[in-house]
Chains A and B, each alone.
Chain A
Amino acid sequence: MSPASTNVTPQWDNHLHTLLVVEDEVLIRLAIADYLRECGYKVYEAVNAQEAVAMLQSPEVVVDIVFSDVQMPGDMDGFALSRWIRANKPGVQVILTSGVERSANMAATPCVAGPLLEKPYPPQDVVDRIKQLATRVGRSDRGKR
């Protein structure tokens, strides 16, 4: 094998992972989505849980990780969205974020992929959490969604 044909698998390839950011506050959503795109992720955006469900149900959209606020307008909050995802899209990982202490305490349940990210959160914390979850989302998992 010549050096030119050596194939080195990168330790981290952000382009393998697609994220869905669910946040009703537009400036927060734009800032987070923009930062995640700069980190190399493909990012979809939804303003509430209903939009998130519509995206996740679309056959043209494949999402690996959902990053969602807990408190959002509409019939579904972030916890309800997380439960919907576990029931309907089990291969999709979820990160929840909240500025409410009570919500943070409620997060200590098996419904979410880990503790809540409390607002305000540094954008790099989001990337670090995504990297942790992404190790659970392999290429082989994508077909199960």
Chain B
Amino acid sequence: MSAASVTTFPRRIPPTILVVEDNVLTRSAISDELRAHGFKVLEASSADDAITVLDTMRVDLLFVDIHLPGTQNGLDVARHVRTNGMVTRMIMTSSLSEASSIPDLDDLGPFIRKPYLISRVIGLVSESLGWPDLPRM
């Protein structure tokens, strides 16, 4: 066997996703499904907790509900990512019927309206991260 016939595939570390959602059942369902698809998933229930996580560890993708309890919301989390130059992709979600009423939404990343199919979220996440990618032949 010659060296030219060997195809090597670089080992990839699964992307880390931060799911920010105050409804525990929704958060658990999304996180569970993402883990089943091979992602490493971190969970937060508030904007403050999400920012604590983002400031502590690398997050590859932020999946965040715009409406969160407390003084800060999902948009504040997204702006924190941008302001601090974090290399973190973002997907926003909300139950609002008029997504266009959310300022700066288009600049922040893809948006998915609630209620959503979890399969659609998985698709959006996978597409945003290019995961899993196909081996090059």
Contacts and interface: CB of A to CB of B under 8 A. Distances in A.
Contacts of B44: 26
SS of A interface (majority): helix
B52 A46 contact: no
Given A26-B44, A27-B56, A30-B43, A61 B49 contact: no
**In which size bucket is the chain B interface?**
10 to 19
Interface residues of A, number: 14
Given A30-B42, A51-B45, A44 B52 contact: no
B25 A54 contact: yes
Contacts of A61: 25, 28
* B interface secondary structure, majority: helix
A61 to B, nearest CB: 7
Given A27-B56, A30-B43, A45-B43, A55 B25 contact: yes
A15 to B, nearest CB: 13
Given A30-B42, A30-B43, A51-B45, A45 B53 contact: no
Contacts of B99: none
Most buried by A among B24, B25, B44, B45: B24
A51 B42 contact: no
Interface of B: 24-25, 28, 31, 35, 42-46, 49, 52-53, 56
